[in-house]
Amino acid sequence: MTEKVTNLNQSSGDLIADRRYEWARGLTEAGDTAAAAELLAEVVGLAPGFAAAWFALGEVREALGDAAGAIAAFERARAADPDDAHGAAVRLARLGALPPVAMPIGYIQSLFDGYAPKFEASLAGRLGYRGPQILFDAVRRVAPATQFAAALDLGCGTGLAGEAFRPLCGSLTGVDLSSGMLALARDKKVYDLLAEAEAMTYLRALPEASLDLIVAADVFIYFHELLQVGAPAARALKPGGLLVFSVETHDGDGVILRDTLRYAHAPAHVREAMTAGGLELVMMEQAWARREKGNEVPGLVVVARR
């Protein structure tokens, strides 16, 4: 399943262009991709700065097998929107026009703000999501009786991991980019503090040796590499403190961007990222966190210690 961004149908400022854009979206939903491509080409001719239309044109061209045309459209979408809320850079990386890139902050915010109302129902139902449980089980195997005085849920989303880990934590903080997700997490009343921020920026700003546990449930699947993770986590953790996280994985080397627009990290890359950051890799095992189209998505559960 390709992740989709919603609630980004901003106006172009041209009423005719806006109407044709909506018509083209309807054609796309009806499966008439070729007609949608023709109409969207007219739209961007009328409104050359209309990022949403350029992005939609890139999508339909890609669906039609026109990779060069899709790349050109995604490049125009990216140029028209410096925040890249549609994630054009990610699409360009998938098409090979860019190397693996950091997910734009604007894209992640838009993606999860739009996804928030149906997030848990989608994960629990169609995707059979079990990320927080496999992380909880991993921590209990590594530290069977440990209580964690200060814990951080990195990329906490709606609070699924917070619910799982709350009984183990004296103080629990959640941080996420999405205000929509945080609103739902707040309703769960499992966090002592919730912060709206980019995960690694927040982690780097914490006092040294201030945490006993860092949890990241399916957060790093949106990171193009993990080398940025180890050192800030080691700095924030107390001696003996744990970092536990899940990622998607693959059988090759390095990091790949899947068609789902999520990154998969090879075990060797995970191992290198932890040790390079000054963490001891305590556990790394195969474990799936979700299903796609009925199939278990290959993944890893990882526990590292300062």
Chain mean pLDDT for the chain:
91
Strand partners, 151: 172, 213
211 and 181 Cβ atoms separated by less than 8 Å: no
Residue whose structure tokens are 């709350």: 166
- pLDDT per residue over 159-174, tens digit each? 999 999 999 999 999 9
pLDDT score at 9: 54
Write the DSSP assignment of 66-88 as a string of letters.
-HHHHHHHHHHHHHH-TT-TT-H
| pLDDT higher than 60, residue 6 | no
209 and 234 Cβ atoms separated by less than 8 Å: no
- Pairing state of beta strands 169-176 and 211-216? unpaired
> Cα–Cα distance between 155 and 161 in angstroms, integer?
10
User: Helix, strand or coil for residue 36?
Assistant: helix
> Token pair for residue 271?
């191992």
Domain ranges of the chain: 15-99, 120-305
- pLDDT per residue over 204-256, tens digit each? 999 999 999 999 999 999 999 899 999 999 999 999 999 999 999 999 999 99
Crossing angle of the two packed helices 67-80 and 51-63, in degrees rounded to 10: 160
120-305: CATH topology: Rossmann fold (3.40.50)
What pTM was estimated for this model as a whole? Answer: 0.86
Using pLDDT thresholds of 50, 70 and 90, give the confidence band for residue 5.
very low
Query: Nearest-CA neighbor of 56 among 15, 28, 35, 82?
Result: 28
pLDDT score at 125: 65
Classify domain 15-99 by CATH number: 1.25.40.10
